[in-house]
Amino acid sequence: MLRPTLVYHAGELCSHDADLRTHGKPPFTIAVVHGGPGARGEMAPVARELASTWSVLEPLQTAITVCSQVDELKAVLDRYASPPVTLIGFSWGAWLSSILAARHPALVSKLVLVSSGPFEETYAAQVQQTRLARLSEHERAEVESLLDALDRPTAGDQSSALSRLGALLSKADAFDPIGDPAKEGEVRANVFRVVWSEAAELRKSGRLLALARKLQCPVVAIHGDYDPHPAEGVQVPLSAALKDFRFVLLQHCGHKPWMERQAKDTFYAALRQALAPAP
């Protein structure tokens, strides 16, 4: 179980555990949930930005199955948050946050899904097709080689392969990036391989959307118009499944809105609006 030592320093609460970062001091009512699976820390800039107004938990997933990641996130919220909380899930983290909120509704007051993957299998093929079309022939061949290596657990340094794959896909995912979209965070190939396999099967079987139908809290989805993950794959299924759902489409924006020159300010404005108390 996560048991980080928490100490106050210069008015802030600091975590001394490698698997939990904290921004601000209790009570913690917001948590950012990273993507990947296995990409630890890529939402750190968002957590730091929000910390000027709210106290934010930034748990870093370590578990290697979907169920254990849900349990791991629940353990962090039970121990360190002041439920019910708002979960801001990015990419895979949007699915993880949705699954947790469906299974433990008392823990979550609102979901904000940033750049979520599509909730239905019919939209899934578009993601890789769009990404590959945006890369050069040499880069496409490298992506295929890296994916093949990641399918074979004994094929060399898998974390390096996943990191390189992330760099190539981040290039395809970005519209007008500020710096290197793949720079923040670290990747863990063992987490990616197992969790993504299970998550993909959840979607393919229809269980992911079935879980979403159980959500009781308000849900806001924020999505870039240039994101290879098709916006309609989030908007259409969730609009039909949920009673309290709002969709925000950002213009000139790829997969990581906080890294987009032309959409960053609009993204943070939309995010702050989503986090504001209901009038």
Query: 216 vs 164, which has greater pLDDT?
Result: 216
Element at 208 (helix H, strand E): helix 207-212
* The pLDDT of residue 155: 55
Helices (H) and strands (E) in the chain, counts: 10, 11
Residue whose structure tokens are 């999505």: 223
* The pLDDT of residue 3: 33
Region 105-124: what's the mean pLDDT?
96
Inside any domain, residue 251: yes
Alpha carbon distance 115, 67 (integer Å): 22
* The pLDDT of residue 84: 96
What does the pLDDT look like over 51-80, one tens digit per residue? Answer: 999 999 999 988 889 999 999 999 999 999
| 236 pLDDT above the threshold of 80 | yes
Q: In what order do the strands lie in the sheet with 56-59?
A: 20-23, 56-59, 28-33, 81-90, 108-114, 219-224, 245-250
Q: Can you give 150-191 as a three-state secondary structure string?
A: HCCCCCCCHHHHHHHHHHHHHHHHCCCECCCCCCCCEECHHH
Query: 245 vs 278, which has greater pLDDT?
Result: 245
Inside any domain, residue 104: yes
Inside any domain, residue 184: no
Alpha carbon distance 156, 150 (integer Å): 9
Average per-residue pLDDT in the chain? 87
* The pLDDT of residue 167: 85
| 5 pLDDT above the threshold of 80 | no
* The pLDDT of residue 153: 65
Alpha carbon distance 173, 131 (integer Å): 7
Query: Positive or negative, the Cα torsion across 154, 159, 160, 164?
Result: positive
What is the span of the domain harbouring residue 83? Answer: 6-123+190-275
Inside any domain, residue 147: no
Inside any domain, residue 162: no
Alpha carbon distance 101, 210 (integer Å): 13
* The pLDDT of residue 156: 59
Q: Is 134 helix (H, G, I), strand (E, B) or coil?
A: coil
What does the pLDDT look like over 137-169, one tens digit per residue? Answer: 999 999 888 888 877 766 556 777 777 888 888
Q: Structural domain tally of the chain?
A: 1
* The pLDDT of residue 18: 63
* The pLDDT of residue 160: 79
Inside any domain, residue 153: no
* The pLDDT of residue 95: 97
- For residue 218, give the CATH number of its domain: 3.40.50.1820
Inside any domain, residue 106: yes
* The pLDDT of residue 279: 63
Give Cα 255 to chain centroid, integer Å. Answer: 10
* The pLDDT of residue 7: 32
Q: Is the pTM of this model over 0.85?
A: yes
What is the percentage of the chain residues whose pLDDT exceeds 70? 88
* The pLDDT of residue 31: 97
With cut-offs at 50, 70 and 90, classify the pLDDT of residue 248.
very high
* The pLDDT of residue 13: 37
Q: Is 122 helix (H, G, I), strand (E, B) or coil?
A: helix
Query: 154 vs 92, which has greater pLDDT?
Result: 92
| 123 pLDDT above the threshold of 50 | yes
Residue whose structure tokens are 């974390």: 159
* The pLDDT of residue 186: 67
Alpha carbon distance 271, 46 (integer Å): 10
Alpha carbon distance 42, 50 (integer Å): 15
Inside any domain, residue 138: no
Region 250-262: what's the mean pLDDT?
97
- Contact assessment for residue 105 and residue 85, using Cβ atoms and an 8 Å cutoff: no
- Taking CB atoms within 8 Å and a gap of at least 24, the contacts of 270-276 are 270/222, 271/46, 271/50, 271/88, 271/112, 271/114, 271/222, 272/53, 274/110, 274/112, 274/220, 274/222, 274/246, 274/248, 275/30, 275/50, 275/54, 275/86, 275/110, 275/112
Alpha carbon distance 36, 59 (integer Å): 14
With cut-offs at 50, 70 and 90, classify the pLDDT of residue 250.
very high
| 105 pLDDT above the threshold of 80 | yes
Cα 279 to Cα 101, 162, 222, 276, distances in angstroms = 23, 44, 21, 9
